[in-house]
């Protein structure tokens, strides 16, 4: 299985290393036949071949500067391609591309952000594929960044689905499923948005079909729980 990390800018190497550790854990403890190759994605040819077939099963959009990332996705011809791959709109596409956005990456995936949202009249400068709303830097500036234990519930049928982990929030966005009725004409999809982790009242990890977002940075801590969860998402 090949997993990509979008390598425009940001915590790319941190994700690459964490994925490798997670893959090793999974192979040793759960899936002996699992082989994961991690690739950095910079250009369209890292994502698809000439026949428009996907070369990777999943991609991580790392933390970084969402403004710079969004501009460069467009400039390097990755914007539409990624959007199509996540939504299954490529020619010859057999499976949806699994995607995980951390922090800035989560903002890129949200259909609605504090600065822009997708509607019939509005083409946002972000990918806008997931039915969530992100409020950029809602926690404040860097002075308000924090490290905290969060409660996770992966609800995947395992007894150990519920757990705690240390999470690093750096100029984090606030994420929540958006109310489809609320903004006039945002197109919601049928798939339910599940909340996987919470910090008090705030949802900090959400899942919708092939899309995962976290407002914190699992690539900055040793715990590979979320990277393992994402690899399992990519496997199915």
Q: Which residue in the set 130, 170, 205, 233 belongs to the binding site for other proteins (CB under 8 A)?
A: 170
Residues 91-120 that bind other proteins (CB under 8 A): 103-104, 115
CB of 103 to other proteins, least distance (A): 8
CA–CA dist 104, 179 (Å, integer) = 22
Segment contacting other proteins by CB under 8 A, of 87-95, 165-173, 180-188, 223-231: 165-173
Distance in Å, CB of 77 to other proteins, minimum = 12
Is residue 64 part of the contact set for other proteins (CB under 8 A)? yes
| Residue numbers annotated as active site | 103, 217, 219
Alpha-helix runs per DSSP H in the chain? 12-29, 44-47, 66-75, 79-87, 104-109, 225-235
Backbone angles phi, psi at 143, to 5 degrees: -60, -25
* Residue spans of beta strands (DSSP E) within the chain: 2-6, 37-41, 58-61, 98-102, 110-113, 130-135, 146-153, 162-169, 174-177, 194-199, 202-208, 211-214
Q: Is 11 in the site for other proteins (CB under 8 A)?
A: yes
| Integer Cα distance of 233 and 214 in angstroms | 15
| Smaller CB separation from other proteins, 78 or 205 | 78
- Give residues 15-54 in contact with other proteins (rule: CB under 8 A): 42
Q: Is 77 in the site for other proteins (CB under 8 A)?
A: no
């Amino acid at each position: 299985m090949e997993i990509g990390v979008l390598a425009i800018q940001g915590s790319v190497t941190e994700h690459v290393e964490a994925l490798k550790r997670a893959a090793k854990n999974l192979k040793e403890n759960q899936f002996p036949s699992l082989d994961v190759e991690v690739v950095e994605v910079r250009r369209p040819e890292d994502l698809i071949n000439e026949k428009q077939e996907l070369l990777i099963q999943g991609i991580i959009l790392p933390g970084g500067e969402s403004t710079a990332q969004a501009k460069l996705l467009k400039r390097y011809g990755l914007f539409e391609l990624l959007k199509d791959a996540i939504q299954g709109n490529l020619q010859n596409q057999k499976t949806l591309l699994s995607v995980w956005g951390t922090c800035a990456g989560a903002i890129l995936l949200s259909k609605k952000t504090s600065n822009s949202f997708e509607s019939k009249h509005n083409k946002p400068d972000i990918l806008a594929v997931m039915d969530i709303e992100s409020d950029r830097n809602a926690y404040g500036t860097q002075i308000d960044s924090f490290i905290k234990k969060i409660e996770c519930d992966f609800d995947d049928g395992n007894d150990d689905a519920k757990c705690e982990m240390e999470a690093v929030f750096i100029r984090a966005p606030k994420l929540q499923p958006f109310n489809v009725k609320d903004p006039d004409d945002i197109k919601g999809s049928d798939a339910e948005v599940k909340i996987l982790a919470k910090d008090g009242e705030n949802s900090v990890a959400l899942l919708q079909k092939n899309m995962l977002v976290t407002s914190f940075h699992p690539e900055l801590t040793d715990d590979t729980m979320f990277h393992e969860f994402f690899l399992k998402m990519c496997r199915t």
